[in-house]
Chain A
Amino acid sequence: MGYTISEKILLSHTKSKKDIAPGDFIMAKVDFCLGNDITAPIAINEFRKLGKKKVFNQKRIALVPDHFLPAKDMKSANQAVTLKDFAKEYGITNYFEIGRVGVEHALLPERGLILPGDLLVGADSHTCTHGALGAFTTGVGSTDLAYAMAFGELWFKVPESIKVVFTGKTRKWVGGKDLILHLIGDLGVSGALYRSLEFTGDTITSMPMDDRFSMCNMAIEAGAKNGIIAADKTTESYVKKGLRRYKQVRKAYKVYKSDKDADYAEVKEYNVSKLEPMVAAPHLPSNVKPVSELKDIKVDQAVIGSCTNGRISDLKQAANVLKNRKVNPDTRLVVIPATQAIYKEAVDEGYAETIIKAGGVFCTPNCGPCLGGHMGILGEGETAIATTNRNFVGRMGHPKSFVYLSNPAIAAASAVKGAIAHPADL
C-alpha cells in the first residue's frame, strides 16, 4: 500500500520509524514553528520553565505580532513586548515589528520561509494555510510551540487522509474561497475531524497560489488536521520568487506526491463548473448557501482581508467590483491587505485609490476584525459580510451580531449594495 502526501512528509520527519500508518503516535522533527502576539506569550512562559539557554534553531522560529497590533490597548502592547524581548534574548531572526509585519499566514509564504516538503507547526489554527505549498502544516497550542522551540520536534497522531477531487472550470467570480466553502458546507464543521484534507483535480492545478492558500486556510473549519495541495510548477515558481526577493539561504525543498495506491478514508469529487459564489451564514462556517439565496440581507459592514483573502488577487477582485462605484451610505467597508508588500502593490496598482474613492477604509496589515480584535468590531444587532474564515457567535464583536463569509467580489458588491449581492446585481 502506498502513502498519501501527508503520510510521506510525516514519515520523512520521523526519526525512529521505517513505516507509518494513520493512528500512529510519532515524534517528528519540525522544520519551522510560528507564534503570534496572542499565542506566543503563553508559549514563552512555558518555554522559560524548561530552563533552556537556546532555542532549537534561531532561524526556524517566527514570532509575528499580527493579531492585536498596532497595539489596541496596553495589555496587547505588553504582550507584543514579550515577543520582542524574547526574540532579542534568544536571537530569533524572524521577528517582525509593525511596518514590516503582516498577517502570519500570508507573510511567511511571501518571504519564502516555508518550503514544499516542510513540516511546520504554528500556534494558530490557520497554520493549515501553508499546506498550499505542498508542506505538512498544522495548528497547535502554545505549550506545543514552547516544546517545539525548545526541542525542534513535537508529538503527532498520524491522520487518515480525505482526497477531494475538484474538476471543471470555475465561472466568473468563483474562486478558491467558494470551493472550500462548498466543501465545508458538505462536510460540516467536524466532517474532516482529525484528518488530512488533500485537494487535487484539474481545477486545483489550474488555480493560482492565492486561491490555493484560501482553500488550505479553511481546512481547519471542517475540523481537519491539515489541508494540502501537492507542489507543482505554479508552486515552485511562487516559492522561487520569494526566495529570490528575500534572499533566503534555506532554499532546498522536496516535492512529494501521493502514491497512486495510497489509502484514503474517503474520496470526494466535485465538478465545480456550475458552482456559484458561496456564502456561509451565521453562526457556523458550514452553514453554506449559494449567494443567490441570501441576496438583499442588509449589511452594516464589509471586511476584505485576513489570512483567508487578504492577498493581492483578492484586493484586485475587490477593486474591479468597486471601480467607479461607491460604498452604500449605510455600510462600512474595511479593506486590510495582509502584508506590507501587498499593501504597497495595492497602492502602486491603483487598488487603494479605487477603494478610497469608493468610500472604503484601507488599513495597515493586521488580523483585526476577523477575530473581533480591533479595526472594525460589530455592535449589537449589526451584520457583516467578510472574506474571513469564521462566523461563530460573537466572532467579530457583540454576541448579538451576525457574520456572513464570502469571497472578495461578493463582499465588495455587498458593500456597494448595502446588502448581500453578486457583482452582476450592480
Chain B
Amino acid sequence: MKLKGKIFKFGDDINTDEIIPARYLNTSDPGELARHCMEDADPAFHGKVKEGDIIAGGENFGCGSSREHAPIAIKAAGVSCVIAKSFARIFYRNAINIGLPIFGCPEIIDHLKNGDTVEVDIDKGEASKAKNKTAYKMEVFPGFIKDIIKKGGLIAYAKKGKKK
C-alpha cells in the first residue's frame, strides 16, 4: 500500500495544545475539529491543507495532553499520514487506535521542506521524496500494532479479532 502527498513541515515538540487547542474541546465532532487543526502551530494550516497531504514533524510529535481530538482533527482534515523523527507515546497510541497512519522516519525529515512531495511505501517500510531515488527506512511496527492498524483501529480489531 502506498501513500503520496505534499508535505507540511513542522519542528520538534509539536504538542497537542497546538494541534487542537482546548477552546475547541467542547466537541468531539471530527468535522468541527478539522477546521481548527494545527491552529496554534500554524493558523493558516486549515485553509491550505488538501486531502492526501502529509504532516512531517521533528522529535516528540504530539507531546502533551492525551486528547484523542488531536489525531482525529489531523485525520479529518484529510491528512493521509504523519511522518516524524519520533512520536510522544500517548499520541502514538491514539493515532494507531483511530487508524491514522504514523511513521517514525528520522532520516528523511531533515531533507524535507514545505511543499515537497513524499511517497510512503507501507509494505516496504520506506519513505522517499518523489523526484529522488533515495528511500529512507521507516520504523517497523511490531506485529501486534500492525494487526490493529490492518483492522482499522482498536475498536474494529476488538470487534473482528477478539475471542471474548
Contacts and interface: CB of A to CB of B under 8 A. Distances in A.
Q: Do A and B bind each other?
A: yes
Given A39-B66, A193-B88, A223-B60, A72 B17 contact: no
A125 B64 contact: yes
B94 interface: yes
A352 interface: no
Contact of B67 (A39, A68, A143): A39
A50 B23 contact: no
B68 A142 contact: yes
Interface string B10-38: 00010101100111011110000000000
B142 A25 contact: yes
A371 interface: yes
A146 to B, nearest CB: 7
B68 A372 contact: no
Contact of B90 (A140, A146, A284): A140
B155 interface: yes
A50 B28 contact: no
B13 A155 contact: no
A172 to B, nearest CB: 32
Contacts of B155: 46, 49-50, 143, 146-147
Nearest to B148: A155
A2 to B, nearest CB: 25
Given A76-B26, A125-B90, A392 B68 contact: no
B134 interface: no
A424 to B, nearest CB: 33
Q: Is the interface of A mostly helix, strand, loop or mixed?
A: loop
A225 interface: yes
A130 interface: no
B164 interface: yes
Interface residues of A, number: 47
Contacts of A68: 25-26
B114 interface: no
A79 B32 CA distance: 15
A144 B88 contact: no
Contact of B18 (A25, A75, A392): A392
Contact of B17 (A140, A141, A394): A394
Interface in A59-77: 67-68, 72-73, 75-76
Contacts of A373: 22, 25
A294 B144 CA distance: 48
A25 B17 contact: no
Contact of A25 (B28, B69, B90, B144): B144
Contact of B93 (A41, A141, A220): A141
B14 to A, nearest CB: 10
B18 A393 contact: yes
A143 B154 contact: yes
A189 B13 CA distance: 8
Interface string B82-115: 0000101110011001100000000000000000
B64 to A, nearest CB: 6
Contacts of A140: 66, 90, 93
Contacts of B158: 50, 147, 150-151
A189 B26 CA distance: 27
B13 A190 contact: yes
A392 B66 contact: no
A230 to B, nearest CB: 23
Interface in A170-223: 189-190, 193-194, 220, 223
Nearest to A399: B40
A124 interface: yes
Contact of A147 (B40, B66, B67, B154): B154
Contacts of A50: 155, 158-159
Contact of B22 (A41, A194, A220, A371): A371
B66 A223 contact: no
Given A49-B159, A68-B26, A193-B60, A144 B93 contact: yes
Contact of B153 (A41, A72, A143): A143
Contacts of A220: 90
Given A50-B159, A144-B93, A194-B89, A72 B64 contact: no
B153 A395 contact: no
B67 A392 contact: no
A76 B65 CA distance: 18
A358 interface: no
Nearest to A79: B26
Nearest to B61: A190
Given A38-B67, A284-B13, A390-B15, 4 more contacts: A39-B66, A73-B26, A142-B94, A143-B97
3 closest pairs, A vs B, by CB? A75-B26, A141-B94, A190-B60
29 contacts: A25-B144, A38-B25, A38-B26, A41-B28, A45-B28, A49-B155, A73-B26, A75-B27, A76-B26, A79-B28, A123-B66, A141-B66, A142-B94, A143-B68, A190-B60, A190-B88, A193-B86, A193-B89, A223-B60, A223-B89, A371-B17, A372-B17, A390-B17, A392-B15, A392-B17, A392-B18, A393-B18, A394-B40, A395-B17
